[in-house]
Every structure is written in structure tokens, then in C-alpha cells.
Amino acid sequence: MPWLPLSLLAAFALATTDAMTKRFFSDLTPYEMAAVRLIYALPWLAASLFFIPSVVPDRFYFYAILSAAPLELWALYCYMKAIKVSPLSLTLPFLAFTPAFIMLTGWALLGERLGMMGVTGIILIVTGSYFLNISSVKGGLFAPIKAILKEEGSRLILLVSFIYSITSVIGKVGVLHSNPYFFGSTYFIVLAVLSSVLIPFMPGSSMRRLILRPGNGLAIGAVYSIMVFSHMLAISQVEAAYMISVKRISLLFGILYGAWWFREEKIGERLVGAVIMLLGVFLIGFSS
């Protein structure tokens, strides 16, 4: 399947996983919420090993696993805390900053040149984030910015976006030095095992609480596994910036889930802000 429909499938599966996790497991701690999607994806990922092409990975595959896994768990913890404490429609749009961070880190660390389309894209993403809280402008010109800084979920997702700007590049290395099926399965199996091992050391977390709702958990795990494989297949076919840009359509799906499933307010202004941010994402992605 071509990379574009795969990226759209990854976007929809990610937003669905987020909404299901918030719906069925928001009473858990953020770490438990992160572990739920990983642990319940484990049976699906393990079963896939019997059907995917075999590969003998080189050392760069192992470097990618070892360097990305701790960052991925940190990001997932912050991600789950964000959707637990804040509305989906006010947190998920900030994932649009991931490609902007990729561009900025490339400029700062590698001396890569910022093109006009890329700079315009960054400006649109920042402008869109302002519009997410545009109704608060009656409190002053800078009130929407203050609203972002006051919202814990928004701050956390900005951190997640920055971490993902690093792990997405590392993941691309892992895919290229194995194959998308093998890296997708083994990387997330490692994350699931690691998250399980760490549960006893996380305050307020317990494995017993995670296994009380196996039906909901396995459904989340199945959808999350679809996201994993569609992501890895897509990113193996095209530049990471293109794939991540299209996958960020998940923020629109997330806002719609917020309106439909959680009856969140101010959906109109958040959709406007998200669309502006997406335009910026596409400019960055397709200028790379």
C-alpha cells in the first residue's frame, strides 16, 4: 500500500487509541495509561513475528532501539498525563509542533538552511496555536498565549512534540537497518516489556489494575498495533518529514473525538486553529 493512505491510517488509529484510552482508562495514573496501550498491544505484536519477513539486523538497529526506547517511554508518559488532565481538542493539536521542532533542530545542530516555505510553516503553526484559545482574546491580546501556558496538557504535549522530533528520526534509522515490520514489532515489544518491568517502581501504579478490563485493553492494543505497522510501513517508503506531516492529521481526528465522545466545548475555534496548524505542517513537510 502507498505511503499516503498508510499515513492517514496511522493518523486515524493514533487518534482512536488516544480517545479510547481517555474514555476507558483515565481513572488510572498516567504511567498506567501509557503501559495499557503497550502491554495490550503485546499479544498482537508478538503474533505478528510469525508472519513478517525475517531479517538479521545490524548494530545500528540496536543503537536505534537503545537510544529511542527511554525517550519514547518518557514521551508516552507525558502524552498520557496531558490527555488525562486536559481536553483532547486542546492538547492534541500541539503535536503539530513536531515537524517544526525537526526543522529547528536541523537548523541549530546541523546548520541546515531554513527555506521560505519552512519558515512560513512554523509561523502558521504558532498562529494556529494562538487561535486554539482565540475566545480568550477579550482578556487582552496576549490572553490566548497565557491560556496555553496555563493549560498543563498543552505544555506537556509541546514537550512530547519535541521528544518525537528526535525519536521519529531515530526510528527511521531502525527501519532502514532492518525492515518496517520487524522494527515496528520488536521496538514496541521492547517498550511493552520495559514498561511492565518499571510498573512496581512507579508511584501509584499496579499491574493488577491494568488487567481488570481486558476487553477494552485488547481493543486498544489492536488499534495501537495498526498504528504501529501503518506508521512503520509508511515511513519506510518516504522521507520522515512527509510521513509525519500527513500523520499529524490525527489532531483533527482528535478534536472530532473530543466533540463527539467527550462533549468538549469551543470545538469551532479549536478546529480553526488546528487547520491553520496543519497547513503549517504540510508546508514544512513538503518543503523538505
> What is the average pLDDT value for the chain, to the nearest integer?
87
* C-alpha grid cell, residue 129: 496555536
Instruction: Evaluate whether 92 touches 74 at the Cβ level (below 8 Å).
Output: no
- Residue carrying the nine cell digits 509542533: 97
Tell me the pLDDT tens digit for each residue of 98-117. Answer: 888 877 776 765 566 767 88
- Residue carrying the nine cell digits 493512505: 5
Position 165 scores a pLDDT of: 85
88 pLDDT more than 80 = yes
Tell me how many domains the chain contains. Answer: 1
Position 204 scores a pLDDT of: 87
Task: Find which of 44-53, 111-120, 140-149 is predicted with most confidence, using mean pLDDT.
Answer: 44-53
Position 40 scores a pLDDT of: 94
Is 108 buried (19+), middle (13-18) or exposed (0-12) by CB count in 10 A? exposed
CA 97 vs CA 28, 42, 218, 219, 277: distances in Å: 27, 29, 30, 29, 8
**For residue 14, what pLDDT band results from cuts at 50, 70 and 90?**
very high
Average pLDDT over residues 93-99: 86
| Residue 8 belongs to domain spanning | 3-285
How far apart CA 241 and CA 140 sit, in angstroms, is 36
Average pLDDT over residues 107-128: 77
How far apart CA 55 and CA 46 sit, in angstroms, is 16
Tell me the pLDDT tens digit for each residue of 167-218. Answer: 888 888 888 888 888 888 899 999 999 999 999 888 888 888 888 888 999 9
